[in-house]
Amino acid sequence: MKDNRSESSGRGTAISRTGIKRREFLAKSVAAGAVAGAAGLVNYPAQAAQPLVEGMPNTGKLGWRVGFATYSFRSVTVFEALEKTAATGLCHAELFAWQKLSPANPDVTPERGLSKTQRNDLRKKAADLGVKIVGMYSRMKDPGATKADFEFAADMGFEVIVGEPPEAMLDVVEGLTEEFGVDLALHNHPKPSHYWNPDTGLAALNGRSKRMGFCCDTGHWCRSGFDPVEMLRKVASRVKTFHLKDLEAFGVLDAKDAIWGQGKGRIADILAEVRKQDIQNPYFSIEWERNPNEAIKTHAASVAFFEKVAGELVAS
């Protein structure tokens, strides 16, 4: 069975390839948004026609991908979150399973229950915006529902499901990763969640399929008092994705988000370690918890820092 993570990425140039298409779409969205806003049909601002980030060439040279966890935009629907992703200038997204789908379909969520028509609508929305949906966060509490979510993820072409399944379910999940060709990425919420300590996840995954690994939430490591670079070294061989966070304080459970490079989260050191460990085709999500209505220019500042560090790594 083909391993999605072993593909040569070529994704670093995705922004340049889709930029014209995205600008055309967003320009139309501005016009449509203005009409709808005048009619009182929407309560969110139209997106800018020109993305804030024009490209990430150095990131692309490394074979890395940067996008959003749509939890960053949890006050709006998936469709609106994808619009914000495109308006920022990024080409990738990770969904979470209990976000409302769209203004037209506010009673459904992007998981197993979507109808064929709704799935096609989601595919078209992402394609029109030039955004690839990499995966989704799922609660994975029940074997039957979890199987249905793997079926959904495979049907939608996702690479990975992120979550925190109970250890008693890992045999089931392992079989599903192989059956559907979709990876699992164990996520770490802070202490006292089950997988807060990477040693727990490493023990649980010992001897299991290479399709099973980690979504490294670097901010939660910091909140739990773990040096994120040391933790990354521990789990390097099992890394699937990142929820890359910078924080205003270290070792504080309720520490607030900071723009990448402006906090205590050692973002530049983490990226250097990813390169050192030769982690292939990693996906880095912005998961901003501080304010779901944060201006996208804040996120663009994080992206600019990431690209700057990527340039230094390429040069070295």
pLDDT in tens, 267-281: 999 999 999 999 999
pTM for the predicted model, two decimal places: 0.85
28 confidence band (pLDDT: 50, 70, 90):
very low
14 confidence band (pLDDT: 50, 70, 90):
very low
Both structure tokens of 309? 């560090």
The yes-or-no verdict on residue 119 having pLDDT over 90 is yes
Q: Specify the range with the lowest mean pLDDT, choosing from 29-38, 108-117, 137-146.
A: 29-38
Amino acid at 263: G
Tens digits of per-residue pLDDT, 281-309? Answer: 999 999 999 999 999 999 999 999 999 99
- Helix axis angle, 267-276 to 228-235, nearest 10°: 20
Could you say which architecture CATH assigns to the domain 7-315?
Answer: Alpha-Beta Barrel (3.20)
Q: What is the mean pLDDT of residues 229-247?
A: 98
Which 8-state DSSP code applies to residue 54? -
For the chain, strand residue ranges (E) read 65-69, 92-96, 132-137, 160-163, 183-187, 212-217, 239-244, 246-247, 257-258, 283-286
Report which of 224, 217, 148, 214 is spatially closest to residue 190, judged by C-alpha positions: 224
CA distances, 170 to each of 225, 245, 265, 295 (Å): 27, 27, 30, 39
11 confidence band (pLDDT: 50, 70, 90):
very low
231 confidence band (pLDDT: 50, 70, 90):
very high
The yes-or-no verdict on residue 176 having pLDDT over 80 is yes
Classify burial at 91, counting beta carbons within 10 Å of its beta carbon; exposed 0-12, middle 13-18, buried 19 or more: buried
pLDDT given for residue 268 in this prediction:
98
pLDDT given for residue 1 in this prediction:
30
Report which of 283, 12, 295, 290 is spatially closest to residue 133, judged by C-alpha positions: 283
Tens digits of per-residue pLDDT, 64-114? Answer: 999 999 999 999 999 999 999 999 999 999 999 999 999 999 999 999 999
Beta bridge partners, 187, equal 215
Q: What is the mean pLDDT of residues 8-22?
A: 42
pLDDT given for residue 49 in this prediction:
62
C-alpha span between 94 and 158 (Å, rounded)? 9
Which 8-state DSSP code applies to residue 232? H
Q: Return the higher-pLDDT residue of 116 and 25.
A: 116
C-alpha span between 221 and 197 (Å, rounded)? 8
122 confidence band (pLDDT: 50, 70, 90):
very high
Across the chain, mean pLDDT equals 88
Q: What is the mean pLDDT of residues 54-61?
A: 96
pLDDT given for residue 164 in this prediction:
97
